[in-house]
Structure 1
Amino acid sequence: MLKSVPRGGLAAALVVVTLLTGCRDAATPAARWHAPETGGGSSSAAVPPDAVELRLAFAGDVHFMDRTRPLLRDPATAFGPIADTLRDADLTVVNLETAVTERGTPQPKTFHFRAPTTAYDAVRAAGVDAVSIANNHTLDYGQVGLLDTLDSARRAGFPVFGAGRDADQAYAPWLTTVRGVRIAVLGMSQISELASQWQATPTRPGIAMAFDTKRAVAAVAAARKQADLVIVYLHWGVEGNPCPSAQMKAFAPKLAAAGADIVVGTHAHTLLADGWLGRTYVHYGLGNFLWWSGLNSPDSGVLQLTVRGRQVIRNEFRPATVSDTGQPVLVTGAAERKIRDKLTVNQRCTGLSRTPG
């Protein structure tokens, strides 16, 4: 278990020191490599990246509103027992669906989410290594709120990706090295609400939007040249629909062709299913994770992938349910079977293969 303890605050060098693995970087969303890992004992850096097996974990939408806001009174325990599952991976990523700000003007939309800076303490304590902020709530409080989100992440030394002060930052991957494997993680949104106003431009802060297909595909292709493993975390889909839309099905193959090894998504507030596009692993939707409302499906879970080189060699979904506190709780027995049965049905509409091609 590489992440056996929650991690505390970071120094200005933005280097996370873990007890078991040595140094793991935690950078702001600039596309640059960071200090390599160091530590005692044998070094996996001498092992070719395609011979290293990594365990990755992904989960869905997270924020701290209404019933989940009080959880930040103790950030170290905000996620509850499921944090042990998140920590039990070499790399863990979720979607932080909120502006981290106390300022800004609410935008012309129905729902507005924001959280204090202790949100970063909570995700770090839960074992999360980085978060996507390419979603339809990061600019709920305008550019002021987005810039606060970026600034507070930098001060906290916590990696965020998928948005930036301009288009170059927004489309840049988060780059990290884990056990000698260079990993690039990109975030993008395919949600149409306020998309034209929220898209990052050369002179405007914003989100990396998947609607700019040329820019999105180029970003993946550029990441392919820099990394051994390329992951794209997308905010896409139709709320409440357990099947991928035609738009999603059209975009995923373009990401695969550009060099994405793993594509995972969120937004629909319900679980979608997974499979392969050739050698690219795709999970269309992870549902809600730490969630403010009981209005949506409570089905949730943690996606655990084992990767060797560029290939996902094992995929396992750990079913959970969003509890009355908003915290996801792993389930067993009849509750687990019910979720797995739903996923079996949902897989039929993905158009994906059950095994790599």
Structure 2
Amino acid sequence: MPGRHLRRGRGSVLRAILVVAAALVVGAGLGAGGSLLLEERAGDERTDVRGGEAPGTAALVPDPGPITIALVGDISPGWALTDGLGRPPEDLVGPIADVLRAADLAVANVDAPIVTDPDGTDVAAAPPEVLEALVASGVDVVSVANDRSLDLGPGGVYELLAADEGLGVLVGVGADETDAYQPFVREVGGHTVAVIAATQLLDPDRIATDTAGPDQAGVASAKRVDRLVAEVEAARSEADTVVVYVHWGTAGESCPGPGQQELAAALVAAGADVVAGPGAGSLQGAGRAGSAAIAYGLGRFLADDPTDPRSGILLVQVDGRDVLDIEWVPAVRAAGVPEALEGSEATAAVAGWDGLRECTDLTP
């Protein structure tokens, strides 16, 4: 698939977050280092400083400094998405996109098939333009490893791959299992980051047909724990930071189920530094598990469903394998579009989000 090779990341970006913080959001960091939105990031290049060193002296390689990874939940088809695609691409998710653009790497999930003529199908689907609009809104990586992306059948894989042609942002799907489990890799801020996507949620009647295999197109299944763990271990040997984006959770539940917790533990043991994803349709707890960051439920980001309008952006600041800070930028979906909360509303929303951690084994 295009673009799945090592690529140069965007330029220094956290300077822009200073403006975003003042204009849009009030978050609360979990770590002791203060708000991610108020920290300066180091330069983008890992540079050898060789001028005048004595013979035999090792070249000095400056620490590139931390980077910030932004993760959001489901992008679902409906009138909110349709209206968004009627605006300029950079306006798809509204002003909160500035937070995504300011991050070093941003990850989202499109919870739907992507087809050329979505109106001509009998299932909820999105047009290829959704990928271009997400990129314009600051998203770098788009997972389609979920239980909805192949609602039109196994042939939907090739529609997804065609939509990604020239963009190279999709992850979690492929013409075979090697392609589906292959990580998205990018160098950002002097760090090599690998993003792997998989789904724990699959239609019971379609597990065999939707799961990518040696000679079968499909999505990366997190039910194949050994296969997913092997991919994480392989990425660990090559990348400074490994992110696993999982579609998981029980609909409507605010606490993670045993399957989520067991999978997260296995992925962290294999070398994942960040494990996060949506799937339950509601927010679930987030925090630290040892040296890793885990977020069990990112909720919906752009979606019509009014049952739980809470939304937001998870910001994880990392320096290689070190998770320095975890921050929630709270939002509420108004007419399906996430709008950043401010002031006392933001403070209350973050407190509520912190409270979701009580039914997990995570720490702040």
TM-score bracket for the superposition, by shorter chain length: 0.7 to 0.9
In 2, the alpha carbon distance for the partners of 1:300 and 1:44 equals 34
In 1, the alpha carbon distance for the partners of 2:277 and 2:63 equals 25
Spell out the pairing of 1:127-276 with structure 2 (5 A cutoff).
127-155=138-166, 157-193=167-203, 194-276=206-288
Structure 2 counterpart SS, 1:255: helix
Q: Which residue of 2 aligns with 1:23?
A: none
In 2, the alpha carbon distance for the partners of 1:317 and 1:93 equals 15
> Residue 116 of structure 2 contacts residue 128 of structure 2 at CA under 8 Å; is this kept in 1?
no
Structure 2 gap ranges (5+): 13-42, 49-60
- Which segment is superposed worse, 170-179 or 58-67? 58-67
> Residue 120 of structure 1 contacts residue 158 of structure 1 at CA under 8 Å; is this kept in 2?
no
Residue type of the partner of 1:28? P
Deviations 1:54-101 (A, max 9, x none): 011111111332332122112231111111111111111111112110
Note if 1:97 corresponds to 2:111.
Answer: yes
In 1, the alpha carbon distance for the partners of 2:93 and 2:11 equals 29
Note if 1:28 corresponds to 2:7.
Answer: no
In 1, the alpha carbon distance for the partners of 2:101 and 2:317 equals 15
In 2, the alpha carbon distance for the partners of 1:44 and 1:318 equals 28
CA displacement at 1:238 relative to structure 2: 0.5
Q: Which residue of 2 aligns with 1:126?
A: 137
Note if 1:284 corresponds to 2:296.
Answer: yes
Q: Which residue of 1 aligns with 2:349?
A: 339
> Residue 29 of structure 1 contacts residue 169 of structure 1 at CA under 8 Å; is this kept in 2?
no
Q: Percent identity?
A: 33
- Which segment is superposed worse, 43-52 or 87-96? 43-52
Compared CA separation, residues 120 and 222, structure 1 to 2 (3 A): same
- RMSD value over aligned CA atoms? 2.5
Spell out the pairing of 1:9-20 with structure 2 (5 A cutoff).
none
> Residue 262 of structure 1 contacts residue 282 of structure 1 at CA under 8 Å; is this kept in 2?
yes
Q: Which residue of 2 aligns with 1:72?
A: 85
- Which segment is superposed worse, 46-55 or 159-168? 46-55
In 2, the alpha carbon distance for the partners of 1:271 and 1:265 equals 10
In 2, the alpha carbon distance for the partners of 1:353 and 1:91 equals 24
In 1, the alpha carbon distance for the partners of 2:275 and 2:62 equals 20
CA displacement at 1:353 relative to structure 2: 2.1
Deviations 1:154-212 (A, max 9, x none): 13x14110111110001110011112211110001001423332100111111111111
Q: Which residue of 2 aligns with 1:4?
A: none
Note if 1:303 corresponds to 2:314.
Answer: yes
Q: Which residue of 2 aligns with 1:87?
A: 101
Q: Which residue of 1 aligns with 2:330?
A: 319
Structure 1 counterpart SS, 2:359: coil
In 2, the alpha carbon distance for the partners of 1:209 and 1:285 equals 18
In 1, the alpha carbon distance for the partners of 2:117 and 2:90 equals 25
CA displacement at 1:29 relative to structure 2: 6.5
TM-score (norm 2): 0.82
Bigger RCO (CA 8 Å, 6+ sep): 2
Structure 2 counterpart SS, 1:114: coil
- Which segment is superposed worse, 46-55 or 240-249? 46-55
Structure 2 counterpart SS, 1:272: strand
Structure 1 gap ranges (5+): 1-26
> Residue 176 of structure 1 contacts residue 182 of structure 1 at CA under 8 Å; is this kept in 2?
yes
> Residue 285 of structure 2 contacts residue 357 of structure 2 at CA under 8 Å; is this kept in 1?
yes
Structure 2 counterpart SS, 1:143: coil
Q: Which has the larger radius of gyration?
A: 2
In 2, the alpha carbon distance for the partners of 1:38 and 1:121 equals 20
Residue type of the partner of 1:65? G
Compared CA separation, residues 51 and 43, structure 1 to 2 (3 A): closer
Residue type of the partner of 1:234? V
Q: Which residue of 1 aligns with 2:45?
A: 44
CA displacement at 1:217 relative to structure 2: 0.5
CA displacement at 1:141 relative to structure 2: 1.2
In 1, the alpha carbon distance for the partners of 2:98 and 2:2 equals 25
